[in-house]
Homo-oligomer: A and B are copies of this chain.
Amino acid sequence: MAAKERLSSSMEDYLEAILHISAEKQAARAKDIAKRLKVNNSSVTSALRLLSEKGLVNYAPYDIITLTAQGKKRAEEIARRHETLKDFFVKILLIDETEAEKASCKMEHVISNKILDRLISFVEFVEICPRGGKEWLRGFRRHCEGDDISASCEDSISLCLEDLRKKAQAFKNSQQEAVLLKEMDAGQRGKILQIKGHGEINKRLSAMGVSSGSIVEVEGRALQEERIEIKVRGYHLSLRNEDAAKISVEPYN
């Protein structure tokens, strides 16, 4: 396999666009891409030729456009960066959707993996640590709105002192029970305790930096409850129940 060549920001955007259009429609057409990226049709043709040369898209003149396996992987990686940044902007910095969307699509091309990883950990930590959470972010919102930071914090603290004790207790209690990922409900979050066996999933997960200690969130079910959809380290995954049964989790909520 060819070494993972550096792609320009533009080419990354083309891949990302193709991924999203493919998910929405059956096939991506040049015009859809042009529209989405606000570029001229002819620019799309050039881009496709280049990406095709690099083995990232399947393309022949006048034909429909699909991503190769490699191209899909790259595109998904870009989408992950995009989503992670946007999440941080929206959930933590309390930036509005539109602005967050625009900004993340610019920054996704230059953020390093290490920082991306930390950002994921940070958002997890803020959301899960009882000392952070919604009340704390409410304090931040007030601070942003020019409110007295003392008041924002104080409020947050008085709200918090009792609350925190309760949260901490609940948190401690929840630690006792381990559950199989398979059994968790949509919206639930928890920490991976163990991944049994050495099969496919194990490889797939560790390739993404997922291991015991990682925070996992159940996003939903699919295919007549045959599969569980999860998010971990910014990746959206779909696992067979069979595989999800091999993962034990300590749930948080």
B124 touches A143 (CB 8 A): yes
* Residues of A within 8 A of B (CB-CB), count: 55
A144 touches B118 (CB 8 A): yes
Q: A136 is contacted by which of B95, B132, B149 (Cβ under 8 Å)?
A: B132
Does A37 touch B at the CB level, under 8 Å? no
Q: A164 is contacted by which of B118, B139, B146, B161 (Cβ under 8 Å)?
A: B161
Who on chain B is nearest to A126 by CB? B140
- 17 extra interface residue pairs, beta carbon distance < 8 Å, beyond A121-B143, A130-B157: A89-B115, A92-B122, A93-B115, A94-B118, A99-B112, A107-B111, A110-B110, A118-B144, A121-B144, A122-B140, A124-B143, A125-B149, A128-B153, A129-B136, A131-B132, A154-B172, A161-B161
Does A81 touch B at the CB level, under 8 Å? no
Does A70 touch B at the CB level, under 8 Å? no
* Contact residues in B for A148 (Cβ distance below 8 Å): 191, 213
Who on chain B is nearest to A140 by CB? B125
A93 touches B118 (CB 8 A): yes
* Contact residues in B for A191 (Cβ distance below 8 Å): 148-150
Does A248 touch B at the CB level, under 8 Å? no
Cα distance A109–B103 when bound, in Å?
A: 11
Does A160 touch B at the CB level, under 8 Å? yes
Does A215 touch B at the CB level, under 8 Å? yes
Question: If the complex has contacts A150-B172, A153-B130, A168-B157, are A111 and B103 also in contact, measured as CB distance less than 8 A?
Answer: yes
Cα distance A130–B106 when bound, in Å?
A: 34
Does A84 touch B at the CB level, under 8 Å? no
| Cβ of A150 to closest chain B Cβ, rounded Å | 5
A142-180 CB contact bits vs B (8 Å, 1 = yes)? 011011111011101110110011001001100100000
| Cβ of A106 to closest chain B Cβ, rounded Å | 4
B129 touches A156 (CB 8 A): yes
